[in-house]
Every structure is written in structure tokens, then in C-alpha cells.
């Protein structure tokens, strides 16, 4: 387990919620921010901030250096080239950029096939489906055949030869880790677009080793600021792609007759970027690297195993996902007869425990959970407790106690 000192880095953990010590189990929605990131960000605003890439004055060049150092750090983290790291507002924007640009660039055409899965976050589902209606390509979805949304390798034994495979590396609902490398082997000629929003917070990805083409992720799910994320793409593909947003910074020459574009990565970064957000992302990565990603993963694994073992013993609780070692950091559940919003509300009000209730931006997956549910009524949503570096086994004990109490109050057997 990680040292207790880590908790000291997160001042918000000293807060009381309705008289109880806060238990923050909503990191899959967004993580808390360590003091170091906040202080470095404040320092950046106090001492260095100016617009980047344009002016020649000192503050501008300091800001530019800090921004480009962040790009370099992220490239190293991914084992990629700096020009391939594009800053966006987050995973959602990165995915919209990819889909729209594929269509504009003639990479994705009428009658082409795109393979997605039914466990995707809406960010990796809606853009593909929506633009298929406008542009006439086909979107096919892989259905998970395993336990409550568990994708199995054989589910990918499909007859189509997709041009694009768009897939998450980890479900934000069940926490299932998905073996991208093995799935890639099944579709060696497809363009692989990987949603790493849930996976990257506890794992270092080597994009070359994984042999993928695009990767998206968001800083706010890994201790960094919100409103900043990354699109990593293979240089040879990015160079063929039409920009998504047009404006300043992304151009080379502009006249009434002709517009030419800047080099990578700037041609995909129109307008003033989220300068402090980009700096903050590298501060968060620095913090995570100090802990070591492997230790982050091990800590979350220990918490998950403990939680799964204990919660699975509570009668009337339905737990989603594979419930084995491929499930990491997330516990999605329902209590028969109690709506997840009521559970989440009571956990907050009576115990200070923050969990998320809802469909978690994954309505297609909710329909799969519903089809296997043994609840009297499946509420089309779940309660989700998600764990990160600052959580402890004691907090999981509190959650278990609280779930049992909620059951008692609702008189659920
Ligand atoms: N994909 C997954 C798996 C996610 O968990 C999320 C965020 N919950 C997203 C995409 C979208 O990320 P963002 O809201 O940061 O754009």
C-alpha cells in the first residue's frame, strides 16, 4: 500500500462533510488535486504567465518553454514524438477531432466500417454514430458476452474488416481492463483509436509497443487540471489529416486565395491554448512519476480486491463487471429495491462518502447490464465507487458499513 503521507498532499481530505471525514470515491469522474500541483500552478500564474508561441518578451518565452516542456514530458511518458502530442480540452474533444478530421480528410468514407464496443463512454460512441448518419459509413458494435459488461477476446471474432477500431482501454463503469494488444492482433490493418481516459491514470502506455494509431486522455482524471487533455496520433496519419478547428496559430500563410497550415502539432491547436492547464498537466505527471505508476496501480489493485471481496458478500447487492483481476479501481453496484441516486445521497449525507450514481455516460452498457440483472427493477444506472492513490482500506470498510446501513433503512433483505 502507498504511504499514509500521500493523504497529506490532498488538503481537501481534511474536510468534514455533514460532520463526517470526507471519503472521496469519485475519482473516475475526476481526481482530487495534490498541493504540489496547485502550488506550482499558482507559482506559474504569479511569475511566468503570458501568451505562448508569439511574442518575443521574457514572460512569453518562459511560458512557451514551460508549455513545450510539458509536451516533451507527455511524449516521453507515451514513448512518442513531441510533434505527435496535441493539446485539446480533453478526451471528448480529442475524439471529436479524430472523427471529424477523418471525414474531412477522406480517411473515413461512405460504406467504410468502424468497429466500436457497447462498453464505450459516450465520448467514444456518439461522435462515430452521429457522423455516420451524415457521411454514410457504417458503425458496428461489439457486444460483451461475459459477466455484466465483460468484454472477452472472442467477442471480437467478427466477419467485417473494419477500417477503424475505436475502443477504450478500460471501462469507466465496470473498471474492466481491455487487452488492446491482443485485439490489435485481430485487426492488423485497421486504424486503432484508443480511449485511455480511464486507463492512463494508473498506467504508463508505450504507444509503439501497443502498436496503436491514436490515444486520447484527460488530465483531470490523473491529478491534473480540468479542461486539458491530449490527442496523441501517429505522425504519418496526422500529416494526412485536415485540421479540426481553424484560426490563429494553426496556419502558415493566409490570403484571400490560399491558406496553408502550420507544422505538427500546431496545425491542430488553433487559438490560445489552455496554457496553465498544460503546465498543470506536467506537474501532475511529475507527482505521479514520483510515486511511480506501478505503485499507483498496485495500490488501486489492493483496494479493488478488498472491496470486491467484501461487497460481494452483502446480500441484495448486485456487482457489475468481471469481478476478477481484470477489474481495477471501480466498483459499480446496485442494491435491490433502492435507487442509486438515493444510495449516493445517503452515503454523502450520513457518512460523508462521495460516490457517483447515474449511467456514467455509457447508456449502451446500461442496456447490457439490464439484460443480465436479477434486480426486481434495474434502474438504468448504477452506484460507482472509484479508488485512487489517496484512498485507504479503512475507507472501504466505511463504505461497506454504510451500504449495510442503507439496506437496513430501506428494509432491504
Ligand atoms: N472516456 C472515458 C472512458 C471516460 O471515463 C471519460 C470521462 N469520464 C471520457 C472518455 C471523457 O473525458 P472528458 O470528460 O475528460 O472529455
Do 139 and 62 lie in one domain? The reply is yes
Q: How many domains does the chain have?
A: 2
Residue 400 · residue 315 · CB < 8 Å: no
The per-residue pLDDT for range 235-289, each reduced to its tens digit, is 999 999 999 999 999 999 999 999 999 999 999 999 999 999 999 999 999 999 9
In angstroms, the CA 321 to CA 413 distance is: 23
Distance 109 CA to ligand 1 centre (A): 26
Q: What is the pLDDT of residue 263?
A: 97
Q: What is the pLDDT along the chain (413 residues), one digit of tens a residue?
A: 888 799 999 999 999 999 999 999 999 999 999 999 999 999 999 999 999 998 899 999 999 999 999 999 999 999 999 999 999 999 999 999 999 999 999 999 999 999 999 999 999 999 999 999 999 999 999 999 999 999 999 999 999 999 999 999 999 999 999 999 999 999 999 999 999 999 999 998 999 999 999 999 999 999 999 999 999 999 999 999 999 999 999 999 999 999 999 999 999 999 999 999 999 999 999 999 999 999 999 999 999 999 999 999 999 999 999 999 999 999 999 999 999 999 999 999 999 999 999 999 999 999 999 999 999 999 999 999 999 999 999 999 999 999 999 999 997 65
Q: What is the pLDDT of residue 178?
A: 98
Ligand 1: nearest atom to the Cα of 123: 10
CATH of the domain at 236: 3.40.640.10
pTM for this one?
A: 0.97
In angstroms, the CA 267 to CA 247 distance is: 9
Do 376 and 342 lie in one domain? The reply is yes
Distance 92 CA to ligand 1 centre (A): 6
Do 155 and 50 lie in one domain? The reply is yes
End-of-domain residue from the set 229, 257, 290: 290
Distance 175 CA to ligand 1 centre (A): 13
Do 313 and 279 lie in one domain? The reply is no
Distance 360 CA to ligand 1 centre (A): 9
Beta pairing, strands 164-168 & 191-195: parallel
Please provide the distance, in angstroms rounded to a whole number, between the alpha carbons at the two ends of the chain: 34
Do 127 and 24 lie in one domain? The reply is no
In angstroms, the CA 160 to CA 77 distance is: 34
Q: Residue 187's closest CA among 146, 220, 153, 235?
A: 153
Among 87, 221, 386, which is best to mutate for testing ligand 1, by the most ligand atoms less than 8 A from CB?
221
DSSP 116-183: EETT--GGGTHHHHHHHHHH--EEEEEPP-SGGG---GGGG--SS--SEEEEESB-TTT-BB--HHHH
Closest residue by Cα to atom 14, ligand 1, is: 92
End-of-domain residue from the set 260, 290, 320: 290
12 by Cβ neighbours in 10 Å (0-12 / 13-18 / 19+) ranks as: exposed
Do 107 and 93 lie in one domain? The reply is yes
Residue 230 · residue 75 · CB < 8 Å: no
Residue 283 Cα to chain centre, angstroms? 18
Q: What is the pLDDT of residue 238?
A: 98
358 by Cβ neighbours in 10 Å (0-12 / 13-18 / 19+) ranks as: middle
Would you say the ipTM is above 0.90? yes
Q: What is the pLDDT of residue 3?
A: 81
The verdict on whether omega for the bond into residue 265 sits within 30 degrees of 0, i.e. cis, is: yes
Q: What is the pLDDT of residue 130?
A: 97
Do 117 and 266 lie in one domain? The reply is yes
- Residues touching ligand 1 (Cβ under 6 Å) are 90-92, 121, 123-124, 168, 172, 195, 197-198, 218, 229
Q: What is the pLDDT of residue 4?
A: 76
In degrees, rounded to 5, the angle at the alpha carbon of residue 341 between the alpha carbons of residues 339 and 345 is 120
In angstroms, the CA 25 to CA 392 distance is: 10
Among 178, 358, 361, 384, which is best to mutate for testing ligand 1, by the most ligand atoms less than 8 A from CB?
361
What phi, psi does 168 have (nearest 5°)? Answer: -85, 150
Do 99 and 163 lie in one domain? The reply is yes
Ligand 1: nearest atom to the Cα of 168: 3
Do 302 and 285 lie in one domain? The reply is no
Among 27, 87, 92, 227, which is best to mutate for testing ligand 1, by the most ligand atoms less than 8 A from CB?
92
Q: Residue 363's closest CA among 342, 380, 345, 386?
A: 380
Ligand 1: nearest atom to the Cα of 90: 16
Do 48 and 22 lie in one domain? The reply is no
Mean pLDDT, all residues of the chain: 97
End-of-domain residue from the set 263, 290, 317: 290
Do 237 and 309 lie in one domain? The reply is no
Distance 127 CA to ligand 1 centre (A): 13
Q: What is the pLDDT of residue 55?
A: 85
Distance 27 CA to ligand 1 centre (A): 12
Beta pairing, strands 356-358 & 330-335: unpaired
Q: What is the DSSP letter of 411?
A: T
Cβ-based neighbour number of residue 233 at 10 Å: 30
Do 55 and 144 lie in one domain? The reply is yes
Active site residues: 361
Closest residue by Cα to atom 12, ligand 1, is: 91
CATH of the domain at 23: 3.90.1150.10
Residue ranges making up the domain that contains 311: 4-30+292-409
The per-residue pLDDT for range 156-179, each reduced to its tens digit, is 999 999 999 999 999 999 999 999
Ligand 1: nearest atom to the Cα of 89: 16
Q: What is the pLDDT of residue 412?
A: 65
Q: What is the pLDDT of residue 1?
A: 82
Ligand 1: nearest atom to the Cα of 199: 3
Q: What is the pLDDT of residue 109?
A: 97
Distance 259 CA to ligand 1 centre (A): 34
DSSP 240-261: TSPPSS-SSSSEEEE-SS-EEE
In angstroms, the CA 201 to CA 328 distance is: 11
In angstroms, the CA 212 to CA 232 distance is: 10
Ligand 1: nearest atom to the Cα of 170: 3
Amino acid at each position: 500500500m502507498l504511504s499514509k503521507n500521500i493523504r497529506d498532499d490532498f488538503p481537501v481530505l481534511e474536510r468534514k462533510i455533514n460532520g463526517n471525514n470526507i471519503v472521496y470515491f469519485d475519482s473516475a469522474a475526476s481526481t482530487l488535486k495534490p498541493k504540489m500541483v496547485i502550488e506550482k500552478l499558482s507559482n506559474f500564474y504569479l511569475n511566468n504567465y503570458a501568451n505562448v508561441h508569439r511574442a518575443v518578451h521574457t514572460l512569453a518565452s518562459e511560458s512557451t518553454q514551460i508549455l513545450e516542456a510539458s509536451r516533451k514530458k507527455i511524449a516521453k511518458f507515451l514513448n512518442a514524438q513531441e510533434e505527435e502530442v496535441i493539446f485539446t480540452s480533453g478526451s471528448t474533444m480529442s475524439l471529436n477531432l479524430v472523427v471529424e478530421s477523418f471525414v474531412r480528410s477522406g480517411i473515413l468514407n461512405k460504406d467504410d466500417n468502424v468497429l466500436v464496443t457497447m462498453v464505450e463512454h459516450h465520448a467514444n460512441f456518439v461522435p462515430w454514430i452521429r457522423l455516420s448518419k451524415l457521411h454514410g459509413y457504417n458503425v458496428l458494435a461489439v457486444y460483451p458476452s461475459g459477466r455484466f459488461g465483460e468484454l472477452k477476446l472472442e467477442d471480437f471474432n467478427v466477419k467485417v474488416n473494419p477500417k477503424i477500431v475505436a475502443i477504450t482501454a478500460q471501462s469507466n463503469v465496470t473498471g474492466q481492463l481491455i487487452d488492446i494488444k491482443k485485439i490489435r492482433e485481430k485487426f492488423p490493418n485497421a486504424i486503432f483509436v484508443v480511449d485511455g481516459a480511464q486507463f492512463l491514470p494508473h498506467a504508463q502506455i508505450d504507444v509503439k509497443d501497443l502498436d496503436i494509431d491514436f490515444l486520447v486522455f484527460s488530465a483531470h482524471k490523473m491529478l491534473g487540471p480540468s479542461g486539458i487533455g491530449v490527442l496523441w496520433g501517429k505522425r504519418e496519419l496526422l500529416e494526412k489529416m485536415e485540421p479540426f478547428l481553424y484560426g490563429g496559430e494553426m496556419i502558415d500563410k493566409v490570403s484571400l486565395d490560399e491558406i496553408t497550415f502550420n507544422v505538427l502539432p500546431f496545425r491542430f491547436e488553433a487559438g490560445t491554448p489552455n496554457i496553465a492547464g498544460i503546465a498543470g498537466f506536467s506537474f501532475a505527471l511529475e507527482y505521479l512519476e514520483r510515486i511511480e505508476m506501478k505503485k499507483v496501480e498496485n495500490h488501486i489493485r489492493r483496494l479493488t480486491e478488498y472491496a470486491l471481496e467484501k461487497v460481494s458478500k452483502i446480500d441484495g447487492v448486485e456487482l457489475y463487471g468481471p469481478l476478477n483481476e481484470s477489474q481495477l479501481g471501480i466498483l459499480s453496484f446496485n442494491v435491490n429495491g433502492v435507487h442509486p441516486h438515493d444510495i449516493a445521497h445517503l452515503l454523502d449525507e450520513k457518512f460523508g462518502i462521495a460516490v457517483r450514481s447515474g449511467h456514467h455516460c455509457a447508456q449502451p452498457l446500461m442496456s447490457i447490464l439490464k439484460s443480465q440483472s436479477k434486480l426486481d427493477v434495474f434502474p438504468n444506472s448504477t452506484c460507482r465507487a472509484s479508488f485512487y492513490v489517496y484512498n485507504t482500506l479503512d475507507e472501504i470498510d466505511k463504505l461497506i458499513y454504510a451500504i449495510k446501513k442503507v439496506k437496513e433503512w430501506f428494509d432491504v433483505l
